[in-house]
Structure 1
């Protein structure tokens, strides 16, 4: 690995400061926060402004905000993103941690479509495939995605009189019961499904967001009932949340924390 260039590192440090607070900074702010010489900061700020990476804030003398150049670079990056490819990489990392089957899925009407999947190495594991379609209300990823819909859109997709197909005796088939379950999922931002799509499997799922904050997918961890208990569920919930957050970050989402 080559040597890091100090001037470039300092310029990037300055740009990353704009991620916090109200998104505006003055040269003295930068000097104080990075503990750099005033002359160095002045030269870096002048260069970044000349190249369009930062720009003066109208009506606020001496303060800067991000310029158009970072937006252009971010837009180009977003254009190159492939949810399935990014999801496969994150799913692989999550599966390596827990050695259970991990999926990433998207919502299409009232079904989910699995766009990424990594298998467990256990002899007893969930059998599925990327590209498979299942009723959303029977899966943890599907319930997570349904819970993320605006109420009006959810009602249009699953009206009160809808007939919900059962995949197992544990599947939710009543729209009112589904809405009650979705309300809980919306509060917790985690979905749990126990033997609703497969009588021998339980799953947990967390939401994946894009750079606008919209939920565009869900990541789940699936576990055979022989390895399912309250302690394991809690562990996998945390892992699903962490994996979904990582995938969200890859898609350009910034946590509010």
Structure 2
């Protein structure tokens, strides 16, 4: 690995300061936060402004905000993102940690579609495939995605008279009961499914957000009942949240997922 260039590092440190607070900074603010010499800060700020990475705030002399160039770079990055490809990479990392089957899924209508999957190495494991479609209300990823919908949109997709199919005797088939369950999931920020889509499997799932904060997918960990317990569930919930947060960060989201 090559040597880091101090001037470039300092310039990037300045840009990253704009991620916090109200998004504006003065040169004295930068000097105080980064403990850099005033002359160095002046030169870096002048250079960043000349390249449109920062601009002066109108009617606030001496204060700066991010310019158009970071937005252009961010937009180009977003254009190149591939949710399925990024999902596979994160799913692989999560699966290596827990050695259970990991899925990433999206919502389409009232179904979920699995766009990424990494298998457990155990002989006893969940059998599924990327591209598979399942009723959302029977899966942890689906319930997580339904719980993340605005109330108006959820009412359209799941009206009071909706018929909910049962995949197992544990599947929720009553819309009122489902809405109650979704409310709890919304409050916790994580979904759990106990033998609702497969009588031998339970799952946990966490939401994946894009750079706008919108939930665009969910990441789940599926476990055969022979390896399922309250302690294991708690461990996997934390790992699912961590994995979903990593995937969200790859999609440009800042903050907890």
Same fold (TM over 0.5): yes
Question: How many equivalent pairs are there?
Answer: 257
Deviations 1:70-119 (A, max 9, x none): 00000000000000000000000000000000000000000000000000
1:59 Cα deviation from its structure 2 partner: 1.1
Q: Secondary structure at the match of 1:196?
A: coil
1:152 Cα deviation from its structure 2 partner: 1.1
The equivalent residue for 1:80 is 80
The equivalent residue for 1:94 is 94
Q: Secondary structure at the match of 2:125?
A: coil
Task: State the distance in 2 between where 1:230 and 1:47 align.
Answer: 56
Task: State the distance in 2 between where 1:148 and 1:10 align.
Answer: 39
Matches within 5 A, 1:75-154: 75-154=75-154
Q: Secondary structure at the match of 1:127?
A: coil
Q: Secondary structure at the match of 1:223?
A: strand
The equivalent residue for 1:2 is 2
The equivalent residue for 1:31 is 31
Q: Secondary structure at the match of 2:232?
A: helix
Task: State the distance in 1 between where 2:61 and 2:74 align.
Answer: 27
CA RMSD of aligned residues (A): 0.9
Matches within 5 A, 1:6-21: 6-21=6-21
CA contact (8 A) 2:245 2:256 kept: no
Q: Secondary structure at the match of 2:213?
A: coil
Q: Are the structure 2 counterparts of residues 256 and 111 from structure 1 closer, same or farther at C-alpha, using a change threshold of 3 Å? A: closer
The equivalent residue for 2:214 is 214
1:68 Cα deviation from its structure 2 partner: 0.3
Task: State the distance in 2 between where 1:38 and 1:159 align.
Answer: 62
Structure 1 residue runs of 4 or more that deviate by more than 6 Å after TM superposition: none
The equivalent residue for 1:47 is 47
What TM-score does the superposition give when structure 1 sets the normalisation length? 0.99
The equivalent residue for 2:62 is 62
1:256 Cα deviation from its structure 2 partner: 6.2
1:174 Cα deviation from its structure 2 partner: 0.5
The equivalent residue for 2:157 is 157
CA contact (8 A) 2:116 2:130 kept: yes
Deviations 1:158-203 (A, max 9, x none): 1111110000010000000100000000000100000000000000
Task: State the distance in 2 between where 1:39 and 1:184 align.
Answer: 54
The equivalent residue for 1:226 is 226
Task: State the distance in 2 between where 1:58 and 1:120 align.
Answer: 56
1:220 Cα deviation from its structure 2 partner: 0.3
The equivalent residue for 2:200 is 200
What TM-score does the superposition give when structure 2 sets the normalisation length? 0.99
Task: State the distance in 1 between where 2:188 and 2:132 align.
Answer: 27
Structure 2 residue runs without a partner (length 5+): none
